[in-house]
Structure 1
Amino acid sequence: MTKKNFLVLGAFLGWFAVITQFILMINNRAASVPETIVRFFSFFTILTNLIVAVYYTIHWLQKPTSLLFRLQKPGILSAITLYIAVVGLVYQIVLRSIWSPVGIQKLVDELLHSIIPVFTLVYWFLYEKHNEASWKSIPSWLLYPLFYLAFILIRGSISNFYPYPFVNVTELGLQKVLINSSVLVFVFLSIAIGLVACSKLLTKKVPHI
């Protein structure tokens, strides 16, 4: 598969999964439409898959925009891969056992949490500029999940809606949520270190494709 084919397929999978999940959530909403929309974009899974879809789309179309320039900066693909890898890992370990979707919801669920994360890891392995990997990039990669955490905790304290059970302050208490959050930060950090280490190893052993 060529790089362009990867980009086209990645864009298609990403947009199909996000848009279909949006339709499913609207059709099965338990709150008003505006509140449901806000809740939809309160899920790290949705936000991250949206970022992935935009990344693939912009690189596929190669339009000369400022967004394309930003998405071509060193480490951007690794950062996106980090985020989607955590989406997949947390789902497989923590969330998969607590619900059993069926039909189209099951397909979308697997796309968002399994297929797209693995697809992106493969794309990262093949097409990241591994020679540009830098340990100094890691702190900036953590800003997105940290801002996200602050957002859902602040909004949750107002709306009493928490997108994931392990950050539900109402049920678990703030102390337990902060412990869970610390574990997640450690997971992000560990995977980030692993990605940079792998890039440096690949730079030594495997020519850039």
Structure 2
Amino acid sequence: MENSKLTLTLARLTFASTALICFVGVLLELWYAYHHQSSLPPNAGFTRTFGPGIDSLLNQFSFFTTQSNLILGITTLILALNLDRTSSSFHIWRLIGVIDITITGIVFNFVLQTVPKNDIIADTASRLEHDIAPIIAIIGWIIFGPAGMVTLRRILIAAILPIAYAIFTLIRGAIMEWYPYNIMDVPRLGYSGVAVNIVGIFVLFLLIAAFLALVDRLLSSRYGRISFSK
């Protein structure tokens, strides 16, 4: 009984810590955006920038990084408040949060070309959002679950969001002549080049989802994890 209570407490603390990291990272990012003009990706094929001011702050919500941190933060906060989540829709959003933040970490650190801000606020926000949040999210998911949430149906539904994000970004970019990442820079790469990058990211999404499904099944059957209703 005591071990069970300790496990539940550790799970809540882990989820609460994850949510705090995500929210602090986003708040610092928004603060920096409000007070500075946005920067262009390296070798950008467009010249539009935002800010400083409210337009730059609001534009931050068009970044995949911001969205993935918010989704992960909200879902882990919900778990911290109540671990017994049985809703299928919640488990889908939980899956989206874990997969998307993993994509964020991998793409930012290994794919994107970025320009260092050399600002303590911006650097802290970047470290929290791109490095710490993905790591603690995966660790928390592996140890505390919730177990048994990864199904093919939920993966397919979760995949709708990155597809919708890509479509929205391309339409918005064509209208506003601005793109959030160099891998989606249509003026420089053309739609064919951007399409290749989008397909690559989608394949990464599926690979991460397959990895989570495999690990979820192995850990749940062999070692046991916090198990909620599906």
Q: TM-score, normalised to structure 2's length?
A: 0.81
Aligned to 1:202: 219
Deviations 1:114-170 (A, max 9, x none): 100000001111121333432232211111101111111000000011000000111
> Which secondary structure state, in structure 2, belongs to the residue aligned with residue 129 of structure 1?
coil
More deviation in 126-135 or 40-49? Answer: 126-135
For the Cα contact (< 8 Å) 2:71–2:93, is it kept in 1? Answer: no
- How many residues align? The count is 205
Aligned to 1:57: 77
Distance 1:180 1:205, change over 3 A: same
Bigger Rg, which one: 2
Deviation at 1:204, TM superposition (A): 2.2
Distance 1:181 1:132, change over 3 A: closer
Of 98, 104, 119, which residue of structure 1 is paired with 2:114?
A: 98
Matched letter for residue 57 of structure 2: I
Structure-2 separation of matches of 1:94 and 1:152: 18
Aligned to 2:142: 125
Aligned to 2:44: none
Matched letter for residue 98 of structure 1: T
For the Cα contact (< 8 Å) 2:69–2:97, is it kept in 1? Answer: no
Of 7, 24, 35, which residue of structure 2 is paired with 1:16?
A: 24
Structure-1 separation of matches of 2:135 and 2:215: 16
Deviations 1:58-90 (A, max 9, x none): 23334xxxxx77587445433321111000000
Q: Any unmatched runs of 5+ in structure 2?
A: 1-8, 39-49
For the Cα contact (< 8 Å) 1:20–1:108, is it kept in 2? Answer: yes
Structure-2 separation of matches of 1:35 and 1:170: 22
Structure-2 separation of matches of 1:182 and 1:202: 30
Q: TM-score, normalised to structure 1's length?
A: 0.88
Deviation at 1:189, TM superposition (A): 0.9
* Higher-helix-fraction structure: 1
Deviation at 1:105, TM superposition (A): 1.6
Distance 1:9 1:74, change over 3 A: closer
- Computed over aligned residues only, the root mean square deviation of the Cα atoms, in angstroms, reads 2.3
Matched letter for residue 4 of structure 1: R
The percentage of aligned residue pairs carrying the same residue is 24
Aligned to 2:130: 113
